[in-house]
Amino acid sequence: MTTLNQAVDRHLPASMGMDFPEQRKLASSTTLELRAGQGIYREGQRAAAIYQVQSGAVRVYRLMQNGHRHILSFYGPNEWFGLQDGLFHDDFAEAICASQLRSFSISGLPTLPVNLLGIALNSLAYANSRQLMIVRQSALERVAVFVKEMADRRPGISEFELMMSRADIADYLGLTVESVARSFTKLRTSGIIRLHGRGQRYVRIVNPEALAALSM
């Protein structure tokens, strides 16, 4: 963990760099209120709880030896995260925007209202799918997959706001910010989506069929 903190400093705004609350003994269920960018847990910390998003959004990532950040997953309302192999976290979790979480102490296991194995297997299937996508899809296809993934979380709503920056998306898809921007532009100019609002973060899906075809 010698190089870790340097890498962390590169990714966290200075004002938030050490903004990970010490994991303390939790009651079997606790509600957490988080500001944008606030840390939930970090690498090396003892894994003592699992979390469910109530509102807002969370990113979970790992840092590579070279300091590169790779986002493993984004989590939205009702989704679970934080379940860990071994005693200590090997990844980081942060709120992307103002969020509410519910945390469940693992030691309260018998009373947990969830099927841990189910969560784990679900995460595993998802991680495997992402492997396929990242390895063999083009930049444009990956961005299409991402947009579709975000859209599918809001069934029936054709326009929505992306909570995450282009940099987050890039680190999630294994691309650079520039490639992500170019792919968004390509989706826009080919009439598949429309973009507007602060930082072009509002997406309207104009041609869902074409989007689905790309993200296959």
| Interface residue with DNA, options 160, 165, 202, 206 (CB under 7 A) | 165
Shorter beta-carbon distance to DNA: residue 15 or 111: 15
What's the min distance (Å) between Cβ of 94 and DNA?
13
Give the tokens for residue 86: 């071994």
Tell me, rounded to whole angstroms, the distance of Cα 8 from its chain centroid. 17
- Residue 31: which of a copy of itself, DNA, none does it interact with, CB under 5 to 8 A by kind? none
Pairwise CA distance, residues 70 & 62, whole Å: 5
210 binds, among DNA, a copy of itself, none (CB under 5 to 8 A by kind): none
Residues 145-174, interacting with a copy of itself (CB under 8 A):
174
Q: Tell me whether residue 89 or residue 142 sits nearer to DNA (CB atom).
A: 142
Query: Does residue number 131 form part of the binding site for a copy of itself (CB under 8 A)?
Result: yes
Closest by CA position to 106, among listed 120, 123, 125, 92? 120
Question: How far apart are alpha carbons 71 and 180 in whole angstroms?
Answer: 15
Token readout for 160 is 């929505």
> Which of 70, 148, 186, 188 touches a copy of itself by CB under 8 A?
70
Calculate ∠ Cα 142-126-23, nearest 5°: 110
What are the residues facing 94 on neighbouring strands? 39, 59
Range 65-94, binding DNA (CB under 7 A): none
Q: Which residues bind DNA (CB under 7 A)?
A: 138-140, 165-167, 174-182, 184-185, 195, 198-201
